[in-house]
Structures are given as structure tokens and as C-alpha cells.
Amino acid sequence: MKNENLVSVQQFCIHHNIEYTFINSLQEYGLIEITIIEENQYIDNNHIKDLEKMIRLHYELDINIEGIEAITHLLSRVDSLHTELTALKNKLKLFEDN
């Protein structure tokens, strides 16, 4: 993983005005992955959007970490089912065209 694709956890917390303990809790629950380089902690730039979604759920809607975990799991499942539905529709269309 290249360093330019990483965002410092410290800078992220300062920018979003959140506690580091929130980020640490998300990591403990397996909701985010933190990369450690030379004792500094980083988040992959590709996961920032998901992390910001979790921040809004927690700070704006007052949802606890367990709730965020459940919501994240359900949203992931919905995305998976949507992908499967699209694939099945494409297969069905292929058979209908024959």
C-alpha cells in the first residue's frame, strides 16, 4: 500500500472534530482497518467515505457502535443482493433474447 493513499488518523480526527477513541472503537469492532507505519496510524483513502458515513450515524443520529456495526452489515448485504439481482436479470434477459 502506498503512503499517498493513506490519511493520518490524527489529522482525520482533527479535521472532523471527533475523538480518537471513536476511531479506535470502530477498529476494535472490525469496522475499519488502521495501518501503522512508524508508530503513526493511517486509514486507507478508499475507506474514508464509509468512515464519514459511520461518523454521521454516530454523531448526528446518536447510534452506538453496535448499531453502526448492524447497519454496516445490513447495507453490505443489501449491496450484495443488489449485485446478485442485477446478474440474474442479465441472465434472464439473455435467455429471453434467444
Ranges of each domain in the chain: 3-97
Q: Please, are residues 23 and 12 in contact by the beta-carbon 8 Å criterion? A: yes
pLDDT of residue 69: 96
Considering the entire predicted model, what is its pTM?
Answer: 0.80
Q: Residues near 23 by Cβ (< 8 Å), separated by ≥ 6? A: 9, 12, 13, 32, 34, 43, 51
pLDDT band at 95 (very low <50, low <70, confident <90, very high): confident
For residue range 3-23, list pLDDT tens digits in order.
678 999 999 999 999 999 999
Pairing mode of beta strands 40-44, 6-8:
antiparallel
Query: Backbone dihedral region of 39: left (phi > 0), alpha (psi from -120 to 50 degrees) or beta?
Result: left
Give yes or no for residue 67 having a pLDDT over 80: yes
Tell me the CATH number of domain 3-97, given options 1.20.58.340, 1.10.1660.10, 3.90.79.10, 3.40.50.300.
Answer: 1.10.1660.10
Give yes or no for residue 1 having a pLDDT over 60: no
For residue range 53-63, list pLDDT tens digits in order.
999 999 999 99
